[in-house]
Every structure is written in structure tokens, then in C-alpha cells.
Amino acid sequence: MKVLLPLSALCALLMLASLLIGPAGAGLGGSLAALWSGEGALGLVMREIRAPRAVLGLLVGASLGLSGAAMQGYLRNPLAEPGLIGVSASAALGAVIALQTGFATAFVLALPIAALAGAVLAVGLILIMAGPGGGSLALILAGVAISALAGALTSLVLNLSPNPFAANEIVFWMMGSLADRSWLHVAIAAPFMAAGAAMLWGAGRGLDALTLGEDAAASLGIDLPRLRLRLVLGVAAMVGAATAVAGAIGFVGLVVPHLLRGAVGARPGRLLAASALGGAALVLAADIAVRLILPGRDLKLGVVMALIGAPVFLHLIWRQRRGR
Amino acid sequence: MRLELQDLTVRRGTRVTVDRASLSAGPGEFIGLIGPNGAGKTSLMRAALGLIAASGSSSLTALPPARRALAAAWLPQTREAAWPVTAEALIRLGRIPHARPDADPAHIEAAMARMGITHLRARPVTELSGGEQARVLIARALAQDTPILMADEPIAGLDPAHQIGAMATFRTLADEGRLVIASLHDLGLAARHCTRLVLMDQGRIAADGPPAKVLTPALLAQVFGVQGYFAETPEGPVFQPLRLTAP
């Protein structure tokens, strides 16, 4: 619990910073007053642009962090990440098809809905492929296959795209961003994320038991097929929703659990809550960095995240190799 | 609590790994499950625990999984500890089936004391030696505090002192009124510490009884292909395998 408090405080601080930073420069007091009253142009900016962006950053980061910790705990592998079951690739495919066909411009939420449909399709496919047992190997193999297929189909759409503007739009969308999102995006993603979080929250005991291996966990009374179902549905709901509203943002689900593992005594159950907070903090920080580094250039969140994530990961591997 | 197995049969593809095994065991017994590699010892125990599909009946699989975890603890042969958790945290996992896992630290302390690993409690398990890890994992099963304990080659890879220590601990647990079943390859230790031996051969239970009745020249030659020396001494039964029987 000594980790959760500082992480919560960090998240609150970054939320506040995210609210205060933007092209419409205004003082601390003025911004908060405008957020409170909602009056004037600044009030509109605070309430309809910055507030949803900050909330979405928090939700997306928490989803990716929590899903990453759950996947690593379930697969007993620190290299596992939430994209492993193919949901993010399939959600991206749904969004890409929506962008290419023009369905995305039909109404505001057309793109996230298409992405969610892609995610749901992937979950259905993965549950059929992985079979009725409780094993994890079939799950990974099915996930890798579905990821590859969704990636190939995304490339096919880009390949055959007759319209360079659509192709451009697709490429930019896939880089991941939280810019120009509205409360509608929050409203469509939040219920899925809440349902996913509720499912993964209950998995902590099972993940702890899995430290001893699948056989020992089963003998401790853990229902492995149910745990796997919980995990697939929970990760899919959270990552599918996150991808639908923010595009593909990598590295959060991989790096955050890794960074925080030592702080929770490596216990997979405890890592869940810590990773959710850590993921939220990381995405909020990256989204602030995006606005500070190149304010005029619409730097993409996914790009910055990979630029931060990859060196951090290399550093971790380096440290681990030298025996901590 | 008794363990009753009736015509337990396990099929792996077309192979029958356990063939109509029946066994009745109760509190106070320390059963050594012996037999050559591939005789079906692990399959018999996993089937009895309901970890693999089997026909026939086991009094444990008749229980719902949550109750079963309170009735029997299982120590698999592969010694897995996926994360660098402390030894104490790993042992605490044995308390998962209980209503309030953190309510009673006495079980964890007792398990650590029995296995002589109290000094390792704060060390990450991934940094322990193989033998130390094995003892931590045995302590995890002890902390589950069940009337039945099943262990798959629990003493493989331990040094002689800790092999004897672990066998003595299992015997003490049996004397306290539990049922302990362990698959073993060291027939000498099995003869000396177990109250009863169950000999498996090609999926069947070939012999079942006190060590002197099971470790007979005829059965040893037939099942293991070895000759051995068996004697009842003031120290208890002593057995030493000597040579291969002529082919």
C-alpha cells in the first residue's frame, strides 16, 4: 500500500498539469476558475477540450497498465503485454477500415465503434481457438495468429488505398493520440474499461497462486478456465476501448508492470493496482510532453511513448543482466 | 480424512498411464509411492486430485474444488516460482484456500520452522539454491494445513541431511494424524520412513503393504530389475539396492 499512495498523488498532480497546459495560455488561478464556472472561451476550452483529454489519458493509461500487469501475471512472463491476445491489432483494423471506407466521418463515434467491433470479433475468435481448457499456451498462439492476421489486413487496406489522404489519416491515427477528444469518447470507453477493470480486479488471487505454476494453482482451488476467461474478457474490454479512443499506444503495458514489480514485492496480485496507477501517470506525463516539446506540430502520443519506453526497457534489461 | 480411490484409470491418447488403481488410505499413514520411471505415479496422484481427467472414482474429486483445496495439498515435481517474491510470501500462497489467508501467521511460521528455512524468509525465492527452493515449496504445501498431503518426488535434489529431514517431517505429519503420500525413488529412505509402500508398474498397483512385504526379491526383480539387501535392524528397516538382475 506504500506504493499506491505516492502513485495516486502523482496521478492527481499530472491530471492537474494536464488541465493547465495547452495553447490557450492562462494562469493557474484563471484556468481553475474557468474550469469551475465554465464561463467564457477559457471555460469552454477547460471543460470541453482539456478536461476530457486529461480524463481520457488517465483511463487509457490505467487500462494499459492494469492489462499489462494481468497478462504478465497470467503468463508468468515479464515480456507479456496486453497486445499479445490480438485485441489491439484487431481494434486498429476496425478503425482503419472505418477510416478507409469513410464510415468514420458518418458520426462522431463511428470510428471508436468500428474499433470496438474489431476487438469483439478478436475476442470471439480467440476464445474459440484457445479451446475449453485452462492452459495458457493455446491462448498465446491464437493471439499471435490473430495479431498477425489483423496486421496483415491493416497493411492490405493501406496497400490498396486509392486515396492518399485516407492512407495518411490512417497512418497518423495508428500512431496514437489523445488530442481533440471529447466527452463522447470518454463516455464510450469508460463503461468497457470499468467492466474490464472489475473483471481483472478479481483475478489477483488466481494470479498470485499461478506463481507456483498451473498445477499447484489448480490444487489451491483456483478455477483456471474461469481465470483465463476473466483475463481475456477483462484485457480485451480495457485494451479494445483504449485503442478505440486513443489509437495504438505501445510500451505502457510492457514497461509499467516491469518498473513497479520490485516495489510490490513482485506479487502479481498487488501489481495490478500499482500498474493501473503507474500506467495512468505515464500516459498523462507523455501526453503533457507531447504538448510541451513541439507545441505546434501535433506530435503523436504513441511515438513519444515508444521513444520513452524503448530506452527505459533497454535500461531495465541492462540492469537485470548485471544482476540488479 | 480418508482417501479412497476406486478403479482409477487415466488414458493419454491410446496409452493407459494408470490402469484400474484402487487404494484406501487414512490418517496416520505415510505412503511411499514407488515404481520405475513411467510407471504412472504422477498420473495416479494428479488423477486422485482431479487435476487430470480420469475414469473411476476418487473421494477427493467428489468434493467441489474449494473444499478439495482444504482437504489436500499438492506439491508438483516441477519446482516453479515465477516471480522473485520472498520465501515468506511464497509460503503464504499456501493459505489461499482458507477463508482469511492472512488471519493466522502461525501456520506460516510453523511450516518455515519444520523445514528449517526461517532464516531464508526475506530472500527472493529466485535467488535461492535448488535445494532451498525445494524446501520453501514443501513449506508452502505444509502451510496449506490439509489433512492430506501429496508430493511428487519431494526430496529429489536435496542433500542427505535435508532428505532425511524432509522424510522425518513427513513421518511426523503422519504421526500427528495426517495422510502423506509421496512418490519416491530412494527406496532406502522409503523403506526406513514410510509406514506403507505402494509399488506401481506399468500403470497398475503391483504391490501394497508395509516395506518388508513390498521390497521382496521377486517384486524388485520383476518391477525394477534390481537385486537388493533388506534387513530389519534395531534402527528400523534398511534397504540397499545392489545390482541389476541378469537380463
Query: Which residue of B42, B96, B136 to mutate against A (max A Cβ within 10 Å)?
Result: B96
* Residue A80 distance to chain B (closest CA, Å): 13
Specify the range with the lowest mean pLDDT, choosing from A300-314, B112-126, B177-191: A300-314
Could you tell me the pLDDT band of residue A26, with boundaries at 50, 70 and 90?
low
Q: What is the pLDDT of residue A323?
A: 59
| Nearest beta carbon to residue A211 from set B49, B66, B83 | B83
In this predicted structure, the answer to whether residue A93 has a pLDDT above a threshold of 80 is yes
In this predicted structure, the answer to whether residue A129 has a pLDDT above a threshold of 90 is no
H, E, C per residue of chain A:
CCCHHHHHHHHHHHHHHHHHCCCCCCCHHHHHHHHHHCCHHHHHHHHHHHHHHHHHHHHHHHHHHHHHHHHHHHHCCCCCCHHHHCHHHHHHHHHHHHHHHCHHHCCCCHHHHHHHHHHHHHHHHHHHHHCCCCCCHHHHHHHHHHHHHHHHHHHHHHHHCCCHHHHHHHHHHHCCCCCCCCHHHHHHHHHHHHHHHHHHHCCHHHHHHHCCCHHHHHHCCCCHHHHHHHHHHHHHHHHHHHHHHHCCCCCHHHHHHHHHCHHHCCCHHHHHHHHHHHHHHHHHHHHHHHHHHCCCCCCCHHHHHHHHHHHHHHHHHHHHHCCC
Residue A29 contacts B, CB cutoff 8 Å:
no
If you average pLDDT over every residue of chain B, what do you get?
A: 92
Q: What is the pLDDT of residue B69?
A: 94
Portion 121-140 of B in contact with A at CB < 8 A? 124, 137, 140
Specify the range with the lowest mean pLDDT, choosing from A36-50, A98-112, A225-239: A36-50
Residue A75 contacts B, CB cutoff 8 Å:
no
Specify the range with the lowest mean pLDDT, choosing from A54-63, A98-107, A235-244, B124-133: A98-107
Q: What is the pLDDT of residue B81?
A: 87
Cα radius of gyration rounded to whole Å, chain B = 18
User: Span A222-249, mean pLDDT?
Assistant: 91
Q: What is the pLDDT of residue B236?
A: 83
Domain boundaries, chain A: 4-321
What is the tens place of the pLDDT at every residue in B1-13? Answer: 899 999 999 998 8
| Nearest beta carbon to residue B96 from set A205, A265, A266 | A205
**Better-predicted residue by pLDDT, A151 or A298:** A151
User: Span B99-117, mean pLDDT?
Assistant: 86
Provide the edge-to-edge strand list for the sheet that holds B3-12. Answer: B15-25, B3-12, B55-58
Name the percent of chain B lying above pLDDT 90. Answer: 79
Show residues of chain A in contact with B144, CB under 8 Å: 220
Could you tell me the pLDDT band of residue A293, with boundaries at 50, 70 and 90?
confident
Domains assigned to chain B: 3-244 (3.40.50.300)
Could you tell me the pLDDT band of residue A310, with boundaries at 50, 70 and 90?
confident
> Per the CB < 8 Å rule, is A209 touching B93?
yes
Q: What is the pLDDT of residue A21?
A: 82
Q: What is the pLDDT of residue B143?
A: 94
In this predicted structure, the answer to whether residue A321 has a pLDDT above a threshold of 80 is no
What is the tens place of the pLDDT at every residue in A39-84? Answer: 777 777 788 888 999 999 999 999 999 999 999 999 998 888 888 8
| Nearest beta carbon to residue A267 from set B49, B75, B89 | B89
> Per the CB < 8 Å rule, is A221 touching B137?
no
In this predicted structure, the answer to whether residue B207 has a pLDDT above a threshold of 60 is yes
H or E, element range at B201: strand B196-201
In this predicted structure, the answer to whether residue A134 has a pLDDT above a threshold of 60 is no
**Superfamily name and number for A4-321:** ABC transporter involved in vitamin B12 uptake, BtuC (1.10.3470.10)
What is the tens place of the pLDDT at every residue in B14-52? Answer: 899 999 999 999 999 999 999 999 999 999 999 999 999
What is the pTM assigned to this prediction? 0.90
> Per the CB < 8 Å rule, is B72 touching A219?
yes
